Structure 1
Amino acid sequence: MTDHAMPETESVREEAGLHLHWQGRRSYKSLIPVPRVLERDDELSFQSDRGSNLVIEGDNLQVMVSLRTQYAESVDVIYIDPPYNRGGNDFRYSDARFQDPDADGSDSEYVSNVDGGRHTKWLNYMAPRLVAMKSLMSENGVIFVSINDIELGRLLMLMDEIFDEKNRIGVITWRGSADNNPSRIQIEHEYVICYAKNVTQVPKAWTTPADEMKETLLEQFEELLESEPDVKKRAKAWASLVRANGESLGRLKAYSLVDEHGPYQSARRVHNPKKGGYQYGVTKKGVVEDTKARGTYRVPANGYRFPAQTMQRYIDEGRIVFPARLEQIVQMKDYLKDFRGTLRSVIDLDARAGSYRLKQLFGKDFDGFRYAKPVELIELLVGAAGSKDALVLDAFAGSGTTGDAVMSLNDKDGGRRRFVMIEEGSEEDPYARTLVARRLRSAIETDGFDAGFTFLTTGAQLDREAILTLEKDKITAVICQTDRSGTRSGIRQIDGRKWVIGANQRGEALALVWRGATNSQVNADVINEALSETKALGLKTPIRIYGTTCNISETKSFVFCQIPDEILAALQIEDVIPEDIEAELEASNA
């Protein structure tokens, strides 16, 4: 396969307009693999009772299709660090998987930088995966993609096609290293491109979590508070400290003032941005009705942005800064502890921080992964674009940085973010287990994160016939993977019970009757025993009971879920019942 323009006879049939053309553009949206069983591995899981974080080993396209039932339109933030197509051991491509997404990828080979079809192969690899990611994104979801200049142009055009150019939020330049090698242009940066699924549903302004410098300044203030009791001397010492470090503080150098509550800056935040603001007078003693009364400060042109009661509360709390002259407008104290930065188009962050983190977790001699991204970079992106309970997906988990960053963010701000990490690794090194799971476990133990994760492996393909031949433990995994009551949050699997196999986030139980395709009837005895188990486990009803047939009408206490139809519908699989199985089912129903 070589990179070249479409033959004229084929390009004429393409729709009008400007497009990125390559061999494979016509078929990438239809490259949908069959869903797989996602099987839990207890040995590789760690503290899985603490949240619903997932680490999944397997081809990311096959896995994402298998996640659609519970995670379609649920992911808030996606961060991916896909192959840059540098050549060498960077990008593995399987032509068999391009032709058939269900192929095992055993023909995968690294793509060299002299391969005439390297860009086409990269596009054929990325396009169906980006489509799958979009299907998992919530309506207000955002995706970040790291890339360098090799594929930047093609990636932007591909993202414009899949997400629509109107949903492009921006391109971030990340300056992460200093290049002193002889070169025409010394490359010291990479890019992070950002798109929304629907930009109208994304907040118009983002703020970032408190950065490390802010925490350092607050620690220095606490030390000053203990060592200098005199208020005036303390204020003078703080101003000198900020001036001395002004260049390194960036925007934080404005916080040069202090009171007993901490460092602050005087902010012009009392003004109403539009006409029609509140009209009242402000004096050093408090709020008055008359805007021209003796001792009142000048009223902003559009009035004040909040009512008189709020202004009085701010005055009582010491949050208002009174200027030297009455002709001036009062200001507010903007405390450093409340500072949240903005996500900017240029980020300066040492790229070596990614490797330093791995050495911290695995020892100073660790050298098992190249180009690990810094935790701080992912914290910045996820913290800006997602809420504190965001669901975060990384389909190119690599060394596991995104999971590390999500746990770190939660630890800092008390968030409840969750992550889904997918990584196949290579035949030589399946590093979902050798690196990602090990790294996350080490991070939890080293930093004391209150977190855990469930490790899943990619099993057999799922269709009607395959489902009906599964053993009980496998069909339990499929139900916990597909049950619709687990949308966004997943199903917590419960082991060791006769009937109950899991529970959703609301605490409602799931139960299973499985003795094969023709002998798995839900009857009164099963229902009563399952209800007793549910009560003993402290779970709620209605129970969703899976089986092939049911001879009892549904009540408020239970819902019958027919196997395999319930599973097939959840997986969006439409197929024809094989004649022999149909006959067996009819006989059992009779």
Structure 2
Amino acid sequence: MEFNERPELNERDKALKYVSRLLDKASKDPKGNQKDINELLEVQKLINQKKYGLVWEEHAEKVDKEMETKIPVFIEDKNKRIDNGESKKINFILEGDNLHSLYLLEKTHNHKIDVIYIDPPYNTENEGFTYNDKKVDKNDGYRHSKWISFMQRRLVVAKKLLSRDGIIFISIDDNEYQNLKLLMDEIFGEEKFVTNFIWRRKTGASDAKGIATITEYVLCYCNNPNKKEWNSIFKQNEQSYDEKRYRYKDKYYNERGPFYYDNLDRGGLNYSDSMNFGVKAPDGSIVYPNGRTSFVNDGWIWKWGKDKIKWGFENGFLEFQQSNKKANGWALKYKNYLNVDNSGKLKVRSAPFKNLITSVINQAGTNELKGMFENKTPFSNPKPVELIQFLVSLCNKKDARILDFFAGSGTTGQAVLNLNNKDGGNRTFILATNNENGIAENITYKRLKKLSEGYTTSRKISEIIFQKKLTISSLKNMNVTLDKIEKVIKKNNGKYQKIVKKISDNTIQVIGEYSKGTLMPQIQFNMRYYKTDFVRRDSGNLEMDLLRNVKKLIELGNEMSIKDLHAAIVSRQSEVKKLNLRGIKRVYMRGRVHIMMSPDEKNRYYLSGVQIIDVPESLFGEELQGWI
């Protein structure tokens, strides 16, 4: 039977048809009440009214309907294993339709993913996108609604995968930006919108008509709606602070750095008599907040209490300065040091990153792939590694789980590995992609395989290792910036064949370069390659069919092998007694086998400290409902 992708009926359509039937019945009834008819007409009008938000005609999708009769499972291609042993954590490539992969990830990674980055099809007029194995082009009247339906199904699952503080980044351009923003507000919540990154993807477009568009966007949402916590969820820019303010030095310079002065008294704070007291000045006079010479409740207080003021004088954090602006002739000031807080504890000055990205252009992505694939371009318009690396680095977790379910050429995987190399992180990635035109096997996998083995570059490769926007403030304090640059160069000395400095778009950059023919060093990581397969729901032995695929899901969910997990799988009653529990911490056991365990068998597992986890109930419980 030919698949019908016409718009699906939705709740609004059903409600309208129901009201229409009631109206038809009421109008034909000779005793019909006109008041009822008028009220039904009003209900019909209200249903038809345009509501705020995104409204589209939902379309059926083959891969979605397919799961009504078949259950996706993973099989491993063991020939594509990458084992380096330095880390027990495993990364994954999932080959197949990403909706099937998301279906299984919902079982293994519910609320476990820290960062999602996706670069979905942009649905441009010329390129369109593939929907139900057909190209959707500009002549398709349902072009936009099909794209929204396609994205909505995947983003609903994506939300379930994000951890409490999880972050999602989505690349997009003008074609679907407005639809994606409304869709994201609907699924994730408008209160979780963080920002819209503006990425300058190229510097010019001389062949443009009217106005040259040189930007794209990256929408960013945080699953935690509490904005007060965002500064700890997102990494802060440690190179972004007002250096010119820290212009004074004292005897503590080597440990505390430079400082600036600030007044210790404040008005408008929560008033308290206990914070309104006299402090002895160098001339023996007693000074009060707001330049007073006596106690008056005028709303002004000291920022510090008596004990801390005593500590401040003893440790060089406080200083009296003569002032003709104060009635008492003195200003009590505290020192804001660059490298410590006002309790003397080490502090790194920082500020939030900005939502404008100008340091990397799209061509860099193509050059990177050419450098790995014999100067050929196996994938059109790949995103630059530097772009994804920057986005992933904004998550303030060095052990973050990263998911890309439009993985394409595998840029996200390389970005994660590069970032780990750069800052010593232990992040892991999951890349889901189809194998259309051999993308998964011949590009995504081969790219990561080359990184694990080392490869010879077929063209020059560049990497930004330091950059700073030039401002009036930074120019006045250029010696500080130059010191940082020298430290970066010293740290990376020997890593690159050449390190160059340049100024581009009012930004000073330090770039590490590998020339053509350079043998790139290996990156140590572990990876598994899974392919989507299916189990029929009408299978006569559904439970055992699903159990055969449990191992892959357990390893995927824990990012470790069964061996490294100190775990075992028990599917049959005979295996309960035979299993050697030495070194075993947990056993994934078939539910009915667990129920049939004798008291002695249960006691043996209990005394050995073994945790029993029911399978497939823990992974395939919904699929088995009503089967047994």
Change (3 A) 1:567 1:154: closer
- Checking the alignment, whether the CA contact within 8 Å between 1:279 and 1:303 is kept in structure 2 is no
Spell out the pairing of 1:4-403 with structure 2 (5 A cutoff). Answer: 12=16, 17-24=51-58, 33=67, 35-47=71-83, 49=85, 50=87, 51-89=89-127, 91-94=129-132, 108-181=133-206, 182-200=208-226, 203-205=229-231, 260=254, 266=260, 275=270, 291-294=279-282, 303-304=302-303, 327=331, 329-335=333-339, 338=348, 340-351=350-361, 352-363=363-374, 365-403=375-413
Change (3 A) 1:139 1:28: farther
Q: CA deviation at 1:146?
A: 0.9
CA separation in 1, counterparts of 2:592 and 2:380?
50
1:525 aligned partner, one-letter code: K
Q: CA deviation at 1:250?
A: 9.5
2:598 aligned partner, one-letter code: I
Change (3 A) 1:330 1:257: closer
CA separation in 2, counterparts of 1:89 and 1:422?
22
Change (3 A) 1:78 1:565: closer
CA separation in 2, counterparts of 1:176 and 1:314?
53
CA separation in 2, counterparts of 1:568 and 1:440?
31
Matched, 1:573 2:581: no
| Structure 2, unaligned runs of 5 or more | 18-46, 291-299, 323-329, 341-346, 455-519
Superposition TM-score, scaled by structure 1 size: 0.68
Spell out the pairing of 1:448-487 with structure 2 (5 A cutoff). Answer: 448-461=522-535, 463=537, 465=539, 468=542, 475-481=547-553, 483=554
Partner in structure 2 of residue 493 of structure 1? 561
CA separation in 1, counterparts of 2:391 and 2:314?
36
CA separation in 2, counterparts of 1:206 and 1:353?
31
CA separation in 2, counterparts of 1:384 and 1:277?
40
1:509 aligned partner, one-letter code: A
- Checking the alignment, whether the CA contact within 8 Å between 2:264 and 2:332 is kept in structure 1 is no
2:539 aligned partner, one-letter code: E
Partner in structure 2 of residue 434 of structure 1? 442
CA separation in 2, counterparts of 1:410 and 1:404?
10
Matched residues, number: 485
3-state secondary structure, aligned to 1:119: helix
Partner in structure 2 of residue 552 of structure 1? 598
Change (3 A) 1:61 1:267: farther
Change (3 A) 1:19 1:434: same
Superposition TM-score, scaled by structure 2 size: 0.64
2:333 aligned partner, one-letter code: I
Partner in structure 2 of residue 543 of structure 1? 587
Change (3 A) 1:523 1:403: closer
3-state secondary structure, aligned to 2:409: coil
Change (3 A) 1:265 1:46: farther
Q: CA deviation at 1:85?
A: 0.7
Q: CA deviation at 1:143?
A: 1.6
3-state secondary structure, aligned to 2:431: strand
Partner in structure 2 of residue 225 of structure 1? none
CA separation in 1, counterparts of 2:389 and 2:314?
36
Change (3 A) 1:541 1:15: farther
1:401 aligned partner, one-letter code: T
3-state secondary structure, aligned to 1:134: helix
Q: CA deviation at 1:82?
A: 0.5
Matched, 1:411 2:457: no
Q: CA deviation at 1:321?
A: 9.8
CA separation in 2, counterparts of 1:297 and 1:26?
77
CA separation in 2, counterparts of 1:450 and 1:250?
36
1:552 aligned partner, one-letter code: S
- Checking the alignment, whether the CA contact within 8 Å between 2:589 and 2:615 is kept in structure 1 is no
CA separation in 2, counterparts of 1:271 and 1:72?
50
CA separation in 2, counterparts of 1:54 and 1:267?
53
- Checking the alignment, whether the CA contact within 8 Å between 1:52 and 1:418 is kept in structure 2 is yes
Q: CA deviation at 1:419?
A: 1.8
Change (3 A) 1:328 1:568: same
Q: CA deviation at 1:201?
A: 7.6
Q: CA deviation at 1:185?
A: 1.6
- Checking the alignment, whether the CA contact within 8 Å between 2:75 and 2:530 is kept in structure 1 is yes
- Checking the alignment, whether the CA contact within 8 Å between 1:37 and 1:459 is kept in structure 2 is yes
Q: CA deviation at 1:324?
A: 8.0
1:511 aligned partner, one-letter code: I
RMSD: 4.6
Change (3 A) 1:167 1:407: same
Partner in structure 2 of residue 243 of structure 1? none
- Checking the alignment, whether the CA contact within 8 Å between 1:267 and 1:334 is kept in structure 2 is no
Q: CA-to-partner distance for each residue in 1:339-376, whole Å, 9 max, x for gaps?
A: 5442323222322332333344445x131222222233
- Checking the alignment, whether the CA contact within 8 Å between 2:201 and 2:215 is kept in structure 1 is yes
- Checking the alignment, whether the CA contact within 8 Å between 2:385 and 2:411 is kept in structure 1 is yes
Partner in structure 1 of residue 43 of structure 2? none
Change (3 A) 1:566 1:452: closer
